[in-house]
Amino acid sequence: MQKEIWPGGALLAPVPPALVSCGSLEAPAVLTVGWTGIVNTRPPRTYVSIRPERNSYPIIKERGEFVINLPTARLARAVDLCGCRSGRQVDKFALAHLTPSPASAVTAPLIEECPVSLECRVFQSIPLGSHEMFLADILAVQVDAALLDEAGRLCLEKADLLAYAHGGYFALGKQLGSFGYSVRKKKKRQPKR
């Protein structure tokens, strides 16, 4: 494979194009964030990196709470809109047909139309240059009950989650395997009679 060497750039993909909601149920705000990820499993911890110029920045900085909402493929247009427009100019909830709804562990609202929401409380923030990273505990998770099977297990593959890669919004495609499949022992076939 012939490689080209470029200067450093933010070329990680795919990332979750998360709808991050903050503020309160009475004065909600929302923005799209590609710079998010899990940073720790036990306790569950995450981050979002946000430019100080964004309308939501002082809200999260002051209140120390936000919700990461995972969008579905059918919300692609709403996700793009919440990344391109500012809450200072327009009512993004109305424009994108999104509904703020009460969370359980934080005063920040979640977004009703998203099948998974992570309720987060900031424990540390680090200015890194263009963005400030807000590190947060995930205090509670809300999931769409329609995604649970009879045993109560979450079947997230049914959620049709949205992915973002280098400027493009993508649906998730074919499932190619599941964690551990490469090392699982194959069942022996029944011998032919």
Least Cβ distance, residue 24 to a second copy (angstroms): 19
Rounded CA-CA distance 182/193 in Å is 30
Which of 175, 185, 187, 190: binder of a second copy (CB under 8 A)? 175
Q: Is 182 helix (H, G, I), strand (E, B) or coil?
A: coil
Among 176, 185, 186, 188, binds a second copy (CB under 8 A): 176
- Least Å distance, CB 192 to a second copy, is 28
Toward a second copy, which CB reaches closer, 29 or 103? 103
Q: Which of 29, 31, 98, 161 binds a second copy (CB under 8 A)?
A: 161
Site residues for a second copy, window 20-59 (CB under 8 A)? 34-47, 49
Q: How far apart are CA 67 and CA 20, in angstroms?
A: 6
Q: Which residues share a beta bridge with 18?
A: 33
Cβ neighbours around 39 below 10 Å, total:
12
Cα 14 to its chain centre, rounded Å, is: 12
Binding residues for a second copy restricted to 79-138, rule: CB under 8 A: 80-81, 83-85, 104, 112-113, 115-119, 126, 128-131, 133, 135, 137-138
Q: x/- site string to a second copy, residues 59 to 78, per CB under 8 A?
A: ---------x-x--x--xxx
In the complex with a second copy, the residue whose CB is nearer, 152 or 191, is: 152
Alpha carbon distance 186, 1 (integer Å): 33
Q: What is the CA radius of gyration of the chain?
A: 19
Among 26, 149, 179, 186, binds a second copy (CB under 8 A): 179
Q: Least distance to a second copy from the beta carbon of 114, Å? A: 9
Min. distance of Cβ 173 from a second copy in angstroms? 3
158 three-state secondary structure: helix
Residue of 122, 134, 121, 119 lying closest to 49 (CA atoms): 134
**In degrees rounded to 5, what are phi and psi of residue 47?**
-150, 160
